[in-house]
Amino acid sequence: NDSSAQNDWKGAWWHSSFSVHSGFVEEDSPYASGGQKGTYYFEFSRPLRTMDHIQQDVQFKIGESSKLSVAFWYPVDRNPWHGSGHYTINCDWVPLDISSGSSLLTKSAPGSSGGSTASVFALLLSVVSLCVSVFVGYRVIKPNSVPFTPMENL
């Protein structure tokens, strides 16, 4: 609530109930109609350096936990923002854990042939295609062995 606070976030959102996925149009609303359920999707980005004077901003790091709070506000009837007109994920900070991609990978047991079968097939296919391309190239470049015979000699 600092007077110098800035909203440097840029982002997009959409809802699974939208029937047209060509971007947000004024007729769309984030509020479900008739008890319809769905899922909100958000994408955000912001500069790494901000004008935060009280040093609350942090850079998210893979493998570490950070605290985060997100609020969503949608203008109804073109009314400006007001404190009770937004929805927040929590009244307090929530932990955000960004796990590294390698921690999600699992190793296959030794002797399992799931990936090796595909690799062998890919290698075989590439060798066959190399042989076919060499054969076609040879046939195109190979000199014609049939001698030219003029029509009057027939």
pLDDT in tens, the chain (154 residues): 445 555 677 777 777 777 666 555 556 566 656 667 777 777 777 777 777 666 666 777 888 888 887 777 766 777 776 767 777 777 888 888 887 766 544 555 455 555 678 888 888 999 999 999 999 988 888 877 777 777 886 6
**Number of helical H runs and strand E runs in the chain:** 1, 6
Q: Does some domain include residue 136?
A: yes
Q: Does some domain include residue 130?
A: yes
Domain span at residue 127 reads 114-141
Per DSSP, which regions of 71-151 are E strands? 71-73, 86-88, 94-97
Q: Does some domain include residue 122?
A: yes
- The structural domain count of the chain equals 1
Q: Calculate Rg over the CA atoms of the chain.
A: 31
| pTM score over 0.85 | no
Q: Does some domain include residue 151?
A: no
Q: Does some domain include residue 67?
A: no
